[in-house]
Structure 1
Amino acid sequence: MRKTTIFSLLAASGFATPALAAKGPFLSLGNTDFVVLIGFLLFLGVLIYFKIPGMLSGMLDKRAADIQSELDEARALREEAQSLLASYERKQRDVQEQAERIVAHAREEAELAAEQAKEDMKASVARRLAAAESQIASAEASAVKEVRDRAATIAVGAAQEVVAKQMTAKNAGKLIDDAIAEVGAKLH
C-alpha cells in the first residue's frame, strides 16, 4: 500500500509527467531529451568500442557467404542431377532402340525361318510325291506284268486245250514240217 501512495503522490505533484520533464534548457540533465541523446550516444560508443558493428557485419557476411555457398552447392547438385537425368534418358533411348533392333532382327529371322520351312516342306512334299508316284508306277508295272504273265499262261493253257482237242496226227505232222521249214528259212 505504501508503493501505491508514493506513485499517487508523484503523479499528483506532476513530477513524473513528461511535459514537465522536457522543460528547461536543452543542455541540462533535467531535460530528458538531452539525457536520452547522451544515453544513445554512449550506447553507440560502447557498440563501436567493442566492435559490435564489425562483428555484426562479419556475422552477416559469413551468413551471406554460407547462403551463397549453399546456393552454389544447390546449383551444382541441380546441374549434376540434370546431367544424370540426360544421361539416363540417353541410355533409355539407346536401350529402347537396341530393343527395337533386336525385335526387328528376330522378326526378320522368323520370316526367313518360315520361308525356309515352307521351301523345305515343299521339297519334302515333292520328294514324297515323287516317291509315291514311283511306287505307284512300279506297282502298276508289276501288276501289268503279272496280268500279262497270267493272261499268257491262261492263253497258252487254253490254246493247248484247243490244239489238243483239234489236233490229229496228220495235223501234228504238218505243223512240225512247217516249223522245220520256217526255222530252216530263218537260219539260211
Structure 2
Amino acid sequence: MDATFWATVALVIFLAVVFYLKVPGVIGKSLDERAKRISDELEEARRLREESQQLLAEFQRKRKEAEKEAAEIVEAAKREAELLVAEAQKKTEDYVTRRTALAEQKIGQAERDAVNEVRSSAVDLAVEAARALLAGKVDTKADGDIFKASLQEVKSKLN
C-alpha cells in the first residue's frame, strides 16, 4: 500500500464528509446570498446615482434661475440709476434756468433803476440849471405875468 492509495482514500473520505455535511449547498447558498447582496448594493448605488443626478440638475436649474434673477436685479438697478441721473440732470438744468432768469431779472431791474436814477439826476441838474439861468434873466414882473397867463389858460381848459 503505497502513499498514493492512502491519499486517494483520504480524498474520498474528505469528499464524502463534505457532501454529507452539504458543504457545496452551503457554499452555493452563501455565494447566492453574496451575489444578491452585491446586486442589491448595485441597485441601491444606481438609485442613489439617479437621485444625485436629479438633485444636481435641480441645483443647476436653481443656480441658473438665481443668476438670471441677479442679472435682472442688476439691470433694474442700472435703469433706476440712469433714471435718477437723468432726473438729477433735469432738476439741475431747471435750477440753473430759474437762477439765470432770476439773475437776468435782477440785472434788468438794476439797469432800469440805474437809468431812472441817471435820468432823475439829469432832470434835477437840468431843472437847477434852468432855474439858475432863468433867475438871472427873468425879472419878477415877467414871472408874475407868465404865472397869471398860465393860470388863466388852465382855468379856461377846466371850464
TM-score (norm 2): 0.88
Q: How does 1:26-175 map to 2 (within 5 A)?
A: 32=4, 39-175=10-146
Deviations 1:123-179 (A, max 9, x none): 111111121112112212221221222111111111110111111134223322331
Rg comparison, structure with higher value = 1
Offset at residue 46 of structure 1 (A): 1.5
Offset at residue 35 of structure 1 (A): 6.3
Unmatched runs of 5 consecutive residues or more in structure 1: 1-28
Offset at residue 39 of structure 1 (A): 4.5
* Secondary structure in 2 matching 1:182: helix
The percentage of counterpart residues that share the same residue type is 40
Cα distance in 1 for partners of 2:23, 2:78 equals: 80
TM-score (norm 1): 0.75
Over aligned residue pairs, what C-alpha RMSD do you find? 2.1
Offset at residue 80 of structure 1 (A): 2.1
Offset at residue 61 of structure 1 (A): 0.9
Matched to 1:102, the amino acid is I
- Could you tell me which residue of structure 1 aligns to residue 156 of structure 2? 185
> When you count helix as a share of all residues, which structure comes out higher?
2
Cα distance in 2 for partners of 1:118, 1:131 equals: 20
Unmatched runs of 5 consecutive residues or more in structure 2: none
